[in-house]
Amino acid sequence: MNISSRIKSVPASTIMELLTYSAEAKKKGKKVYHLNIGQPDIITPKSFFEAISSNKEDVLEYALSEGLDELREAIKRYYNEYNIDFEKEDILILNGGSEALFFCMIALCNEGDNILIPEPFYSNYNSFANSVGVEIKPITTLAENGFHLPKKEEIVEKIDSKTRAILFSNPGNPTGVVYSKEEIKMISDIAKEHDLWIIADEVYREFVYDGEYTSLGSVKEVEDRVIIVDSVSKRYSACGARIGSLASKNKEFMAQILKLCQARLSVPTLEQIGAVELYKTDKSYLQDVNKEYKERRDVLYNELVKVPGVICKKPTGAFYIVAKLPVKSADDFVKWLLKDFDIDGETVMPCPAEGFYATEGLGKDEIRLAYILNKEDLAKASKILKEGLEAYLELDK
Ligand SMILES: *Cc1c(COP(=O)(O)O)cnc(C)c1O
């Protein structure tokens, strides 16, 4: 019996081996601060749980395939507050941003087509693309430039007759980059000139700490080719709800996606009922969360750049930092942190960044750090990381 070559081409999670190292460390009584995962620790608004527990239905029915009306309305109102002009009909509810991304690839690409993605990128993009036979053409961005986009020519030269779309996360996971107004304009121009779709993964929209944010949803000239991927996971710290959405003004695209929504029947009814309340959450919640993350970023960043040779521009969004280290192998460094290093019985676990690149050989000397711990723990973890790196570099002398 055969397994498809499509599914075999999907990369297995690269973190598994490292997790055995951290399990080993914990068994020996070490405390491990996890900076390797993107699960936020912020409290989910209570209104989510209250809405679910006060639900009085006797039968838990399928919800509409396109999503609950109330939820689509709530998201429409949310967008309108950000000057993003969507109607209820332009919004579909999906099982997380993940399903939204998956459906986009299925709907926009034939097998053998390709999409442009700035690298390093969210590694699940790989899994979605590979499993439907779509090739990723990476646009390499650099730590030295804070992972901002290269010149237009460099992007355009990657486009061929099989290129269908440009996809990116903005604010960026794993880099924390927030694209400038000019970069958004450049992407829009390229898409228009080369007839490409734009898949804008904006699940970190509120996580912007310095400067302005430009959503692709507010660029009128490309509104017929823009698809906004969204989610409550990071915004309201509700990763387990599995509620995401797609928004687009392109009616033909939406009609095709709806067929997939109908085939998978629906998104969980109760979580949608809870999500309606999330989208009504007072803006002060998001402002408080934003302030908290900004402080955390500063704690981690300021400690990290004390080590000579570390290359890292201060990221301005999401809750991640990618840093280039003066080491040969970030993977070896992380293993060493877990196995051979501690301060008073405590160590840290960063994530090696190689898995975020499509180009062979890139990212080997880089790590991604998620600042999802409270400030006190993060301050300790940052100090351990800095001293660990210094000690590791001494070994090589
Ligand atoms: C977390 C994340 C998603 C998807 O999250 P869901 O929980 O499926 O909504 C999508 N894109 C990026 C960049 C993410 O970090």
Distance 69 CA to ligand 1 centre (A): 23
Separation of alpha carbons 109 and 93, rounded Å: 21
CA 169 to ligand 1: nearest atom: 13
CA 231 to ligand 1: nearest atom: 9
Predicted confidence at residue 371, as pLDDT, reads 96
Strand partners, 168: 200
In this structure, the residue with its CA closest to atom 3 of ligand 1 is 97
Distance 345 CA to ligand 1 centre (A): 33
Distance 176 CA to ligand 1 centre (A): 14
In this structure, the residue with its CA closest to atom 10 of ligand 1 is 97
Separation of alpha carbons 227 and 104, rounded Å: 8
Cβ–Cβ under 8 Å, residues 199 and 105: no
Distance 59 CA to ligand 1 centre (A): 31
| Top mutation candidate among 37, 103, 122 for ligand 1, by most atoms within 8 Å of CB | 122
Burial pattern 280-292, b for ≥16 Cβ within 10 A else e, equals ebeeebeeebeeb
Q: How far is CA 278 from CA 217, 267, 273, 358, in A?
A: 21, 16, 9, 35
- The helix or strand, by DSSP H or E, that contains position 222, with its residue range, turns out to be none
Separation of alpha carbons 32 and 13, rounded Å: 20
Question: Which segments of the chain have a pLDDT < 70?
Answer: none
What contacts 396, CB < 8 A, 6 or more positions away? none
CA 98 to ligand 1: nearest atom: 8
Predicted confidence at residue 38, as pLDDT, reads 81
Residue 81 CA from chain centroid, whole number: 23
What contacts 46, CB < 8 A, 6 or more positions away? none
- Ligand 1 pocket (Cβ < 6 Å) reads 38, 96-98, 122, 169, 173, 201, 203, 231, 233-234, 239, 244
Predicted confidence at residue 98, as pLDDT, reads 97
Cis check for the bond before 45: say yes or no (omega within 30 of 0): no
With H, G, I as helix, E, B as strand and everything else as coil, classify residue 336.
helix
Range 46-278: architecture per CATH: 3-Layer(aba) Sandwich (3.40)
Provide the residue ranges of all domains of the chain, joining segments of one domain with +. Answer: 5-43+284-395, 46-278
Distance 207 CA to ligand 1 centre (A): 13
Q: What angle do CA 164, 167, 171 make, to 5 degrees?
A: 165
- The helix or strand, by DSSP H or E, that contains position 380, with its residue range, turns out to be helix 375-395
List the CATH code of the domain at 5-43+284-395.
3.90.1150.10
Distance 94 CA to ligand 1 centre (A): 12
Distance 101 CA to ligand 1 centre (A): 9
Distance 388 CA to ligand 1 centre (A): 30
CA 100 to ligand 1: nearest atom: 8
